[in-house]
């Protein structure tokens, strides 16, 4: 959605027919839609106008009370609020680390592979982490939800250098089906909807820090447990805050990290930051020649660092893990089942065509051969992140500075995750289908109305 929003806005800004027109960005009085609208225009300001997250957020709330926070996709009471500022900071960090690059993002490919019938997977960190729904013994449709055998993923995984698979749920398929084809496979089971113990976190981080290629992580739905462990890695390796990690993962894969998993990540932030600092120190010493320790052995030097945080459920999780009977996921609907059913239902409503499932294969997105190289160049130039300054962006920034919102209502939490957006830098995706770009027109300024009610005057 964010990608398409930016395309539409940039197209109108470059339109000769609209050169003397005021562009209005607005939404209705629904506070949920106001929050989504604020996220869209705020992220645009961070990405295209070089605003800091704090500057963009300040403009959004300058004359507006506040916006509804985002929450998780669970069916219970809200346990953790995610603010618009958290999302803007996540976008800013993604730009800094190179995860966000519209010039290399293929929106059709993203929308294709996120669908259940085509694999149900998303890149969280391009070239490093892919989150996907758990494979099954055979490709089939069960309770209206398409399931895929391991073999269905082989072509895509090989093409995009996925070398390692980590399974977090019970054993639904034989791992040999991956290992016999040259993939590395690891099992780190913990119960659906729960949080991992320290041993699982340490093993996960060790595997990921020493993997040669990209890592595909899955649980049952590829949302809760998967997002939780990837979030731990992001906090340790990139020093993201818990809120930034949760926000970015949900931007890439909506519905990720559920219920107590949110508070768990928040509790782990400080200890994982400390562990990451020591890890990087060891790496620097090695690169400077003062240490000959292999990277694979670095974790042994930080074993004395506690990552327990303030979590009070460790003993309970340990007992559950020691059982390893995995009976908790048998005989009834789990959180993963409910989330997959909900996702499939929503995708079916959004679908404009029929859905079919072929045995042992994921539908492959075709790329038209008629696209010219010139078209690709123009599209990339017009849809890139445009981090460098320009007259257009200067005027846009001035207009954004005049933005104010008059709607002011009492805060309340609404159900639903961060708007379904993904605009990560897909540097390892080969089939790019650039969106048609428009010819460059006269530079002009942007006037914004919306986010409830915005009133600004066009500069003379």
Could you report the per-residue pLDDT of 428-451, keeping only the tens digit for each? Answer: 333 322 333 333 333 334 444 334
User: Could you tell me which of 435, 421, 336 has the C-alpha nearest to residue 380?
Assistant: 435
Sequence ranges of the domains in the chain: 108-350
Say which residue the tokens 């109305």 belong to.
449
**What is the pLDDT, as a whole number, of residue 348?**
52
Query: What's the pLDDT tens digit per position in 117-149?
Result: 999 999 999 999 999 999 999 999 988 889 999
CA torsion 282→285→290→295, rounded to 10°?
A: 50
- The Cα 239–Cα 10 span in angstroms is 33
Assign domain 108-350 to a CATH class. Answer: alpha beta
pLDDT of residue 341: 64
Q: What share of the chain is helix, strand, coil (3-state, %, to 5)?
A: 45, 10, 50
Supply the pLDDT for residue 404. Answer: 37
Asked if 180 and 165 touch (Cβ cutoff 8 Å), the reply is no
Mean pLDDT of each 10-residue bin along the chain, 460 residues long: 92 90 90 95 94 96 86 91 98 97 92 95 98 96 91 98 98 98 98 96 98 98 98 99 98 96 98 97 84 49 44 40 44 63 58 38 45 38 44 49 38 41 36 34 39 34
Question: Per the residue annotation, which of 7, 219, 232, 252 is the catalytic one?
Answer: 219
Nearest C-alpha neighbor of 326 from the set 229, 197, 189, 201: 189
In this prediction the pTM is 0.72
Give the integer Cα–Cα distance in Å for 6 and 62. 23
CB 175 within 8 A of CB 185: yes
> Which residue is it, tokens 């559920």?
258
Residue that the structure tokens 């998967």 belong to: 226
pLDDT of residue 308: 47
**Residue 208 falls in the annotated catalytic set:** no
């Amino acid at each position: 959605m964010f990608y398409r929003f930016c395309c539409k806005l940039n197209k109108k800004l470059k339109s000769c027919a609209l050169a003397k027109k005021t562009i209005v960005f607005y939404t209705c009085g629904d506070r949920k839609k106001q929050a989504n609208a604020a996220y869209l225009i705020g992220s645009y300001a961070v990405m295209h106008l070089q605003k800091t997250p704090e500057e963009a957020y300040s403009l959004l709330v300058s004359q507006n009370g506040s916006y509804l926070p985002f929450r998780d996709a669970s069916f219970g009471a809200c346990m953790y609020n995610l603010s618009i500022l958290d999302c803007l900071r996540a976008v800013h960090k993604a730009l800094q680390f190179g995860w966000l690059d519209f010039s290399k993002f293929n929106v059709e490919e993203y929308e294709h592979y996120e669908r259940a019938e085509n694999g149900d997977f998303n890149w969280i960190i391009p070239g490093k982490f892919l989150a996907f729904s758990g494979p099954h013994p055979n490709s089939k449709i069960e309770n209206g939800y398409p399931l895929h055998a391991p073999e269905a993923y082989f072509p895509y995984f090989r093409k995009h250098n996925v070398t390692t698979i980590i399974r977090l749920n019970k054993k639904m398929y034989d791992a040999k089906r991956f290992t016999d084809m040259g993939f590395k496979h690891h099992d780190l089971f913990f119960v659906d909807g729960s949080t991992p113990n320290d041993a699982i976190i340490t093993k996960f981080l060790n595997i990921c820090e020493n993997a040669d290629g990209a890592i595909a992580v899955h649980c049952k739905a590829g949302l809760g447990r998967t997002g939780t462990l990837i979030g731990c890695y992001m906090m340790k390796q990139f020093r993201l805050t818990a809120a930034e990690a949760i926000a970015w993962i949900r931007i890439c894969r909506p519905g990720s990290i559920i219920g107590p998993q949110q508070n768990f990540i928040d509790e782990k932030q400080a200890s994982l930051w400390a562990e990451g600092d020591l890890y990087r120190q060891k790496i620097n010493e090695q690169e400077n020649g003062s240490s000959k320790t292999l990277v694979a052995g670095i974790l042994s030097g930080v074993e004395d660092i506690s990552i327990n945080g303030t979590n009070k459920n460790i003993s309970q999780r340990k007992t559950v893990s020691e059982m390893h009977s995995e009976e908790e996921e048998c005989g009834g609907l789990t959180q993963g089942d409910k989330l997959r059913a909900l996702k499939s239902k929503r995708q079916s409503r959004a679908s404009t065509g029929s859905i079919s499932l072929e045995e042992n294969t994921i539908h492959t997105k075709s790329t038209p051969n008629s696209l010219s190289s010139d078209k690709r160049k123009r599209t990339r130039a017009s849809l890139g992140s445009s981090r460098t300054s320009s007259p257009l962006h200067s005027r846009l920034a001035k207009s954004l500075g005049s933005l104010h919102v008059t709607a002011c209502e009492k805060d309340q939490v609404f159900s639903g995750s961060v708007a379904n957006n993904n605009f990560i830098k897909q540097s390892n995706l080969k089939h790019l289908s650039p969106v048609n770009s428009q010819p460059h027109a006269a530079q002009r300024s942007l006037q914004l109305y919306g986010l409830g009610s915005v009133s600004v005057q066009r500069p003379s």
